[in-house]
Amino acid sequence: MSAISDNMAALAEAFNTSFAALTEATYRKVASAAQADNANTLGNQSPSQLTATAAAHTDAHASNTNNPHGTTAAELGAYSTAQIDALIAATLPSGIVPLSRFGAVDGSAIPVTVSGTAANVVFAANIPALISGQFFLLPQTTLSLIANATTYLYLRLTSGVASIVASATEVPESQTNMFLGAVTLSGTSVTLNTISASGVTRIDLSRISTTAVGSAIPVSTGLPSETAHLAWT
């Protein structure tokens, strides 16, 4: 009986050892198969490589400006092409409305200085102007005054470009030539004749009047007795 017991114990020990070895071999086989499967699925990429690949795809999508999701103007609350075309068609083409304006429409003072010593008149930069229905932003302009005479100033449109020009003689007004005012220089004494501080507005060849006549719109500031006053005419 003792021998049988010893043999049974040895058999059990051998079985347990073999089972443990078989189990370990099975786990290794499964792990190896899973690793191989993952390697095939992920293209043999390391975690850092996978991160770089994902980042590359994300960056490529972010830089795609060809509307990859097919978003429509309506989804964004924007006008459609047809609506924009209709709005453009309803606008008046530049240059067909006979309006002219020198200076900001809010009546801001025209930044102009006159020097008898330097014999010049300076209009500061960025003066808005509208002539023959076309808008311009005039740069700073310095014009020489004529000694012992009157210099006439005009807003003039020449070859599609608007500018302030000085003239020794009066020039008839036209759709492309608008009178701004005049400066008389005698020695170093300057007389501002008719340069408007608040701008000049003209419809066709007619301008707003300083006198309330009929349906005219009267505009005036200051007093005629003020020597530094730039008055409407």
pLDDT in tens, 90-104: 776 666 778 888 988
- Residue 68 in domain: no
Residues 54 and 107 in one domain: no
**Could you tell me where the DSSP H helices lie in the chain?**
2-41, 47-62, 73-76, 81-90
Residues 35 and 122 in one domain: no
C-alpha angle with apex 188: 184 to 190, nearest 5 degrees?
Answer: 30
Residues 58 and 118 in one domain: no
DSSP SS3 for 168: coil
Q: Dmax of the chain from CA atoms?
A: 149
Residues 56 and 103 in one domain: no
Domain count, the chain: 2
Total residue count of the chain as it appears in this document: 233
**Could you tell me the residue range of the domain that residue 25 belongs to?**
2-62
- Residue 90 in domain: no
Residue 122, pLDDT score: 92
Residue 231, pLDDT score: 44
Instruction: Enter the pTM of the model.
Output: 0.54
- Residue 222 in domain: no
Residues 45 and 142 in one domain: no
From 62, 84, 107, the end of a domain falls on 62
Q: Is the pLDDT confidence value at 136 over 90?
A: yes
Q: Which residue has the higher pLDDT, 154 or 79?
A: 154
From 12, 43, 62, the end of a domain falls on 62
- Residue 20 in domain: yes
Residues 138 and 189 in one domain: yes
Residues 107 and 185 in one domain: yes
Helices and strands in the chain: count of H runs, count of E runs: 4, 12
Residues 104 and 187 in one domain: yes
> Mean pLDDT highest for which of 28-32, 42-46, 52-56, 211-215?
52-56
Give the H or E element holding residue 93: none
Residues 48 and 105 in one domain: no
- Residue 88 in domain: no
Domain CATH for 176: 2.60.520
Residue 229, pLDDT score: 41
Residue 177, pLDDT score: 93
Residue 232, pLDDT score: 40
Residue (of 192, 175, 176) closest to 184 by Cα position: 192
- Residue 224 in domain: no
Residues 105 and 200 in one domain: yes
- Residue 85 in domain: no
- Residues 179 and 148: their CA atoms lie apart, in Å, by 21
Residues 203 and 103 in one domain: yes
pLDDT > 90 in the chain, percent: 22
Query: CA dist 114 to 42, 178, 188, 203, Å?
Result: 80, 20, 11, 28
> Which string of DSSP letters, residue by residue, matches 213-231?
-TT------S-TT-TT---
- Residue 176 in domain: yes
At residue 25 the predicted structure's pLDDT band, cuts being 50, 70 and 90, is low
Tell me the per-residue pLDDT of 204-230, one tens digit each, with 9 for 90 and over: 887 765 555 555 555 555 544 544 444
Residues 104 and 190 in one domain: yes
